[in-house]
Amino acid sequence: MKSHAKVVVIGGGVVGCSVLFHLARHGWTDVVLLERDELTSGSTWHAAGGMHTINGDPNVAKLQKYTISLYKEIEELSGQATGVHLTGGVLLAATEARLDWLRGVVAKGRYLGIDLEEISPNEAAELMPLLDPKQFVGAVRNKEDGHLDPSGVTHAYAKAARKLGAEVERFTKVEDIVRRPDGSWRVITNKGEVVAEHVVNAGGLWAREVGRMVGLELPVLAMEHMYLITEDMPEVAAWNQKTGTEIIHAVDFDGELYLRQERGGMLMGTYEKANKPWSEFQTPWNFGHELLEPDIDRIAPSLEVGFRHFPAFQNTGIKQIINGPFTFAPDGNPLVGPVRGLPGFWVACGVMAGFSQGGGVGLALSNWMIEGDPGADIWAMDVARYGDWATMAYTNAKVRENYSRRFSIRFPNEELRAGRPLKTTPVYDALSAKGAQWGVSYGLEVPLWYAPDAVRDEFSWRRSSDFDHVAKEVAAVRGGVGLAEISNFAKYAVTGEGAAGWLDRMLACKLPKRGRMTLAPMLKDDGRLIGDFTLANIDDGEWFIAGSGIAEQYHMRWFEAHLPKNGSVRIEALGQKLAGLAIAGPKARDVLAKVTRADVSNAAFPFMAVARMDIGMAPCLVGRVSYTGDLGYEIWVAPEYQRAAFGALMAAGEEFGIGLFGSRALNALRLEKNYGSWAREYRPIYGPLEAGLDRFVAYGKEADFIGKAAALAERRQGGKLRLRAFIVDADDADVIGDEPIWFDGAVRGWVTSGGYAHHAQQSVAMGYVPKEIADEADGFEIEILGKRHGARIQSAPLFDANFEQMRA
C-alpha cells in the first residue's frame, strides 16, 4: 500500500468505486480506495439492482439520467459486464391524486430530456401483462427504467478506475483518521498508514462510524428493506416467449411496491409502513455478507395490495425473501460534499439508490474536489443542508417517516410531522394560540398561516382550505399593517478590523455606508450566484447580514473557507441567538412610531436605513426593508426579548387593525413584487444578469470581488437565460415550482416558484427562459397538472411598480 496519496476514498461499495473512477477520469490518478473486506461488502451486494431516472428534485433526476447513461462507458472501459437490462417501465396510479402527481413528473421530464408518456391502464397492461388494469386510473411509461448486476457495476467502476491509474486496496480497514498540522490527513488502517490531502467518506453502512473518526455525527440511519423473489411463473414464460422480451419494470405507488422480472419469476419489493431501523446507534464491524431475518408479517399489508394489483402473484410460490439494510438521510437524498470546518474531508454517503445515483454522486464530488465546484446544482444532495439540529434522534424519526412515505404523495401544502416541533422561538405558544399552522425550515418551526378554529389544511394539488384565510392576511398587510415572525432567516455578525475589506471581496455589491443596508449578491469564481443577502453596516467594523435560513451551513462553509488566516475578520452565524419579527403595510410606521422613542420618520429613517432602537422595553436592531414590497421593517431581537417586542407591537397595532401573517401570505406578497428567493429563483447555476440581480452588482467597484471577471463576461456576452415573472391564466391550481414553460408549442423553460398573488388577484409564476424569447409579449404557456395555461410576462411588478409605497 502506498504511504501517500492525493485522495483516500474509504469504502468499496458502488458509491466509493464511482467516486474513485470519476476522480481518475478527471485526471487525479494518485488516488487509492481502501475497503475493509472484498468490494461490495456493505449494502451494495444484496441490492435489487433497479435503476430509474425519476426523482422529486429535477437536479437529482438529471444526475440519475447521467448515472444510467454511464454504464455502457464503464463496461467498455473495464471489460467487466454490468448486466444492464434497459427494459423500460410503467409508473402506476391507482388514484386521481397520484395521477396528478405523475402528470407533474411527465411535465418535468419535458425539460429534463426524460422520455415519459402518460398512458391508460389498458395500455399499461399491454406493456406489463401481470397488472390488472381495473385497479389503476392511469400510468406513465418510462423508457429509461431497468436493472443491472450490482456487483458487476461496482467492479466495473473499480476496474475502469484502475485502468486509469487509481489503486484499490481490499481487506484494508480504516481504523482512525487524524489531522496533521499541515492540514493533510493520516488515514490509519490495519495495514499501516496513508497520508492524504483529501479523504472521502463513502463508508455506506459504516459512514457514521467513519464520520465519528473525525468528530462528525452524520445524519444517516440504516433501515431494513425486503424484497421477494417468486418461483418461476407460467405468465412470465408465456410473455417472454410471445414477445422475446422481459417483463418490464413497474412501480405501483399506491401499493408502495416495485416489481421486475428475475430469471423465470418476478421480484417484488416494498417500502412497508411498519418499518424497522437497523443498528440504530452503531453498525457492527463484523457485519458483511450476511442477510437479515425476513419478517413477512411486516410486509404482508403491501403484499396483499400487490397480489390484488398483480393477480398472477396469487398462483405462485415465494422462492426467497431478501432482507438487507441500507442507509438514508432524513429526506432520503444523499449527503455529498465538503464538510464545514474540516477542509479536505468529503462525504458521499446516505445514497439510498446507489444504482440510480452513484454515477451522479461520483461526478459531482470529483468536480468539486478538482475544480472547486460540483459543476451542477446539487443543493438537494449537499451535506450542508443539515445543521447541528439533525441529531441522531431527529434522524431516526425522519428516516423512518421518509421510508414509510417513500412512495407516498406529498402535496405541496403538506407538512410532515416526524421530528417536530424541534426548534421553536419564544413566541411559538403565543402564535399557536392565534391559530398558527406550522411548517418547518432548517429545523425551526415557522408559521405558514393562521387558521380559525376547525379549519385545517386539506392536502391538495389545487387551491385549498387556506386560500381565503391567506387572502385575509394579505389584505391586512396591503390595507393597514401585518406582523410576521421571521426568525427563520439566517443571520450573521461580521466584525474585526478587516471586515469591510473582506466583505468587499466576498460580496459583489457596493458596501453600504454606516446606518444603511443594501442587497448583496455573492458570486462563485465562475460568476454564478452562491448567495443573496441583505447587508447592513451597523457601525463601520460591525456588519450584519441576513440571508436564507436553509442555507446557513452552506454559506458558513463558504465564508469560513475564505476567511483570512490572520484573525482580522470574525463571522458568526447567529442562528436562534437572534429572533426576528417584521411589520409591513402602509400603517407600519405608525405602529413603530408608537413603540419607540427613535425618530422613524421617512426623513430620519428612510428606506434601507438600519439602526438600533428600543421597541417597548426590548433592545432591537431595526432595518427599513420588507420582503412584502410594502413600507415595512425587519426587527432583530435577542430571544429573551422577543415576546416583549411582539407584545408591544401587537398592542400598538391594535388601533390600526394589525393582523398576523405567515409565510404563505409572504409568498403571495413577494410574488406581486417579482422578488425572487434563494434556492428557488437564485441558485448556483444562474449568473446575476440571468437572475435579474445585476443591478445590485457593483461591476465597476475597485475591489476584485470573487467572480468579478466572470460576471463582467456574463454582462458582455449576455448570459443564456432570463428570470421572468408570468401571469398565468390558471383555473383552480397555481404553479408550485418545476413546471415546464412552453413557448410557441415547445418546452423552453421551467418554473422556479409561484402561487396566487391575492392582492393583485392573479396567479403568478416565476421561472427561467432563454434570453432570445425573454421579451416576447405572448406565445407562452405554463403546464399545470398536465394542462397548458396561457401565460404573459409581467415585466413591471403588479404591486407598487414605481416603488413609491415602500419608499414613502
**From the list 7, 9, 13, 609, which residue makes contact with ligand FAD (rule: CB under 6 A)?**
13
**From the list 80, 142, 230, 356, which residue makes contact with ligand FAD (rule: CB under 6 A)?**
356
Q: How far is the CB of 410 from ligand FAD (least distance, A)?
A: 21
Helix (H) or strand (E) holding 187: strand 185-189
Q: How far is the CB of 665 from ligand FAD (least distance, A)?
A: 40
CB 15 within 8 A of CB 358: yes
485-516 as b/e: b if 16+ CB within 10 A: bbbbbbbbbbbbebbbebbbebbbbbbbeeeb
**Burial label, 557 (beta-carbon count in 10 A; 0-12, 13-18, 19+):** buried
Q: Is 146 in the site for ligand FAD (CB under 6 A)?
A: no
Q: Is 50 in the site for ligand FAD (CB under 6 A)?
A: yes
**From the list 202, 503, 571, 574, which residue makes contact with ligand FAD (rule: CB under 6 A)?**
202
Q: Is 173 in the site for ligand FAD (CB under 6 A)?
A: yes
Q: Is 44 in the site for ligand FAD (CB under 6 A)?
A: yes
Q: How far is the CB of 177 from ligand FAD (least distance, A)?
A: 9
Binding to ligand FAD, residues 647-676 (CB under 6 A): none
Q: How far is the CB of 163 from ligand FAD (least distance, A)?
A: 20
Q: Is 35 in the site for ligand FAD (CB under 6 A)?
A: yes
Region from 41-49, 409-417, 540-548, 708-716 binding ligand FAD, contact rule CB under 6 A: 41-49
Q: How far is the CB of 263 from ligand FAD (least distance, A)?
A: 16
Q: Is 47 in the site for ligand FAD (CB under 6 A)?
A: yes
Question: What does the alpha-carbon distance between residue 364 and residue 200 come to, in Å, rounded to a whole number?
Answer: 13
Question: What does the alpha-carbon distance between residue 280 and residue 394 come to, in Å, rounded to a whole number?
Answer: 12
**From the list 61, 112, 153, 174, which residue makes contact with ligand FAD (rule: CB under 6 A)?**
174
Residue 287 vs 696, nearer CB to ligand FAD: 287
Residue the block writes with cell 448486466? 83
Q: How far is the CB of 409 from ligand FAD (least distance, A)?
A: 21
**From the list 205, 384, 474, 573, which residue makes contact with ligand FAD (rule: CB under 6 A)?**
205
**From the list 21, 28, 355, 438, which residue makes contact with ligand FAD (rule: CB under 6 A)?**
355
**From the list 88, 89, 152, 204, which residue makes contact with ligand FAD (rule: CB under 6 A)?**
204
Please confirm whether the linkage preceding 421 is cis (ω < 30° from 0): yes
Alpha carbon dihedral 329, 330, 332, 336, in 10-degree steps, equals -40
E strands within 231-332? 249-252, 257-262, 265-270, 277-278, 318-328
Residue the block writes with cell 419564544? 426
Q: What would the DSSP string read from start to end of 725-748? A: EEEE--SS----S--EEEETTEEE
Residue 14 vs 583, nearer CB to ligand FAD: 14
Residue 180 vs 191, nearer CB to ligand FAD: 191
Residue 5 vs 511, nearer CB to ligand FAD: 5
Task: Write the DSSP symbol of residue 773.
Answer: G
Q: Is 521 in the site for ligand FAD (CB under 6 A)?
A: no
Residue the block writes with cell 403571495? 668
**From the list 353, 376, 427, 574, which residue makes contact with ligand FAD (rule: CB under 6 A)?**
353
In angstroms, the Cα distances linking 690 to 380, 693, 718 are: 22, 8, 8
Residue 203 vs 527, nearer CB to ligand FAD: 203
Alpha carbon dihedral 315, 319, 323, 326, in 10-degree steps, equals -90
The contacts of residue 520 (CB under 8 Å, 6+ apart) are: 507, 508, 509, 532, 533, 534, 535, 545, 696
Query: CB 543: neighbour CB atoms within 10 A?
Result: 23
Three-class SS string for 134-185?
HHCCEEEEECCCEECCHHHHHHHHHHHHHHCCCEEECCCCEEEEEECCCCCE
Q: How far is the CB of 175 from ligand FAD (least distance, A)?
A: 7
Region from 48-56, 313-321, 692-700, 738-746 binding ligand FAD, contact rule CB under 6 A: 48-56
Q: How far is the CB of 347 from ligand FAD (least distance, A)?
A: 10
Residue 268 vs 660, nearer CB to ligand FAD: 268
Task: Write the DSSP symbol of residue 331.
Answer: T
Three-class DSSP category at 503: helix
CB 166 within 8 A of CB 120: no
Size of the site for ligand FAD (CB under 6 A): 43
Residue 223 vs 791, nearer CB to ligand FAD: 223
Residue 16 vs 255, nearer CB to ligand FAD: 16
**From the list 5, 48, 84, 584, which residue makes contact with ligand FAD (rule: CB under 6 A)?**
48
Residue the block writes with cell 394542462? 787
Region from 35-43, 475-483, 589-597, 760-768 binding ligand FAD, contact rule CB under 6 A: 35-43
Residue 147 vs 748, nearer CB to ligand FAD: 147
Sign of the dihedral through C-alpha 616, 620, 624, 628: negative
Give the three cell numbers for residue 792: 404573459
Q: How far is the CB of 292 from ligand FAD (least distance, A)?
A: 9
Three-class SS string for 685-725?
CCCCCCCCCHHHCCCCCCCCCCCHHHHHHHHHHCCCEEEEE
End-to-end C-alpha distance for the chain, whole angstroms: 71
Residue 349 vs 588, nearer CB to ligand FAD: 349
Region from 112-120, 203-211, 392-400, 470-478 binding ligand FAD, contact rule CB under 6 A: 203-211
Question: What does the alpha-carbon distance between residue 113 and residue 767 come to, in Å, rounded to a whole number?
Answer: 18
**From the list 206, 310, 442, 742, which residue makes contact with ligand FAD (rule: CB under 6 A)?**
206
Q: How far is the CB of 44 from ligand FAD (least distance, A)?
A: 3
Q: Is 352 in the site for ligand FAD (CB under 6 A)?
A: yes
Residue 90 vs 573, nearer CB to ligand FAD: 90
How do strand 618-623 and strand 146-147 relate by DSSP bridges? Answer: unpaired
Q: Is 177 in the site for ligand FAD (CB under 6 A)?
A: no
Three-class DSSP category at 603: coil
Q: How far is the CB of 344 from ligand FAD (least distance, A)?
A: 17
Q: How far is the CB of 335 from ligand FAD (least distance, A)?
A: 10
Q: How far is the CB of 539 from ligand FAD (least distance, A)?
A: 49
Helix (H) or strand (E) holding 660: strand 659-660
Q: Is 36 in the site for ligand FAD (CB under 6 A)?
A: yes
Q: How far is the CB of 469 from ligand FAD (least distance, A)?
A: 42
Query: CB 792: neighbour CB atoms within 10 A?
Result: 15
Q: Is 203 in the site for ligand FAD (CB under 6 A)?
A: yes
Binding to ligand FAD, residues 288-327 (CB under 6 A): 322, 324-326
Residue 167 vs 776, nearer CB to ligand FAD: 167
The contacts of residue 312 (CB under 8 Å, 6+ apart) are: 130, 233, 235
Residue 8 vs 440, nearer CB to ligand FAD: 8
Region from 28-36, 233-241, 337-345, 800-808 binding ligand FAD, contact rule CB under 6 A: 28-36
Binding site for ligand FAD (CB under 6 A): 10-16, 34-37, 40-44, 46-51, 173-174, 202-206, 210, 225, 227, 322, 324-326, 349, 351-356
